Amino acid sequence: MLRFLVRRVLGAIVILLLISAVTYFLFFALPADPAALSCGKNCNPQTLALIRKNLGLDEPVPVQYWQYMIGIFLGRNMTIGHCSAPCFGYSFASQQPVWSTLMNRYPTTVTLAAMGALIFLVIGVGLGLISAARQGTAFDKIASAVSLTGQSVQIYFIGPLAIYLFADTLGWLSRGHDPDWTHDPVGSITGMILPAMVMSVIFWSNYSRQTRSLMVEQLSEDHVRTARAKGMTSRYVFMRYALRGAMGPIITIFGMDLSSVFGGAIITEYTFGLHGLGQLAVSAVTQTDLPLEMGVMLFGAAAIVIANIIVDACYAVIDPRIRLS
């Protein structure tokens, strides 16, 4: 297990380094002048020269990248002042260190993504399990219709409708607000219910369909039939034998979906006016705040890669064959 984890972590580090390099070079090495880009529409030569100096744009791009990476691991001295260890530079717009902005914003996105994932796993897998147990019944058909519709709606369509219906008209749920885990843990959860529910809808169908077909497949396996023949109850066979076989592929699908979950979180944050990483990315782009964009990109990529390792580790725990290969 340890060897497996070490191998995965090393691979992840390589991937992250490559992503950072590609992103950096795309941002800063394209013929478009990043200084002019960050300067915006009302730009004068003084600010342009200042930005160029602050960014170190007089250096060749590989040197700039090297300094950037040194900054992330060791910290670096910048024109604004010293920037300690995880240094992603300073935001053009707010002059704040990028790292502290990221630290302020990430709890919202993580809470939203985690709650959303929990909800869609419970609902999706649950619908799939019941459909598999009651194949061909009305429930099966309704569940597949519901999840098909869920897959086809868009967060930016149902989000405002959900706020209008559940928050403004019925008043059942909060319109959604940023979590504050240290001061208000209960409010952090209740404030996220509506956004997380809305985000989860688009993921239901994939999981319910996959779970259903995997369970149907598992239920016709020999070991399941043997278990039935030994006289075990159907419920026990269903939950202990068939479900365990179906879990592995579902976890793999979940790992592949993490990036989409993050993408869904961006649109959900924007729709519900939450201040997370997605909303930060959008505002960084509209303000052409390059260091902030770069920081969010890398942070997001790292989060997805780390989450993927955790998912792989879970898979290895459930299915020992993975560890040995």
Partner 1 sequence: MSSSTQATAGNDQIPEGPSADTAAVPLEIIGRSPRQLAWLRFKRDRTGVICAGIVGAFILIAIFAPLICALYGKNPYTLYGQNDNLLNSYGMPIKPNGGIDSNHWFGIEPGLGRDIFALLMYGIRTSLGISLCVTILSVALGVLVGLIQGYVGRKTDYFLGRLTDLMMSFPQQLFFIAFTPVVIALFVKPTEQEPTYIRFFALVLVQFFLGWMSVSRLVRSQVLSLREREFVEAAQLTGASTWRIVSKELLPNIGSTILVQTTLLLPVNVTTEAGLSYLGVGMQDPTPDWGLMFQKAAEYYQSDITYMFFPGIAMLIFVVAFNLLGDSVRDALDPKTIR
- Chain residues 34-53 in contact with partner 1, contact rule CB under 8 A: 36-37, 39-41, 43
Return all residues near 180 (Cβ < 8 A) that are at least 6 apart.
187, 188
| Residue 11: both structure tokens together | 């691979």
Binding part of the chain for partner 1, among 15-23, 88-96, 101-109, 230-238 by CB under 8 A, reads 15-23
* Shortest reach from residue 235's CB to partner 1, in Å: 25
**Using CB under 8 A, which of 99, 105, 127, 293 touches partner 1?**
293
Question: Which CB atom, from 224 or from 227, has the smaller least distance to partner 1?
Answer: 224
Question: Which CB atom, from 232 or from 313, has the smaller least distance to partner 1?
Answer: 313
* Under rule CB under 8 A, residue 309 binds partner 1: no
**Using CB under 8 A, which of 10, 61, 118, 285 touches partner 1?**
285
Q: How far is CA 133 from CA 8, 100, 140, 235, 253, in A?
A: 37, 50, 9, 10, 21
* Under rule CB under 8 A, residue 57 binds partner 1: no
Residue 121 CA to residue 158 CA, distance in Å, equals 20
Site string for partner 1, 248-267 (x = CB under 8 A): -----------xx-xx--xx
Q: What is the 3-state secondary structure (H, E, C) of 41-109?
A: CCCCHHHHHHHHHHHCCCCCHHHHHHHHHHHHHHCEEECCEEECCCCCCECCCCCCEHHHHHHHHHHHH
CB atoms within 10 A of CB 314: 15
* Under rule CB under 8 A, residue 98 binds partner 1: no
Q: What angle do CA 15, 76, 95 make, to 5 degrees?
A: 95
* Shortest reach from residue 66's CB to partner 1, in Å: 20
* Under rule CB under 8 A, residue 161 binds partner 1: yes
* Under rule CB under 8 A, residue 286 binds partner 1: yes
Cβ atoms of residues 274 and 195 within 8 Å:
yes
Q: What is the CA radius of gyration of the chain?
A: 24
- Chain residues 137-156 in contact with partner 1, contact rule CB under 8 A: 141, 144, 148-149, 151-154, 156
Return all residues near 213 (Cβ < 8 A) that are at least 6 apart.
none
Contacts to partner 1 by CB under 8 A: 15, 18-19, 22-23, 26-27, 30-32, 36-37, 39-41, 43, 141, 144, 148-149, 151-154, 156-161, 163-164, 168, 209, 213, 259-260, 262-263, 266-267, 270-271, 278, 281-282, 284-286, 288, 293, 296-297, 300-301, 304-305, 308
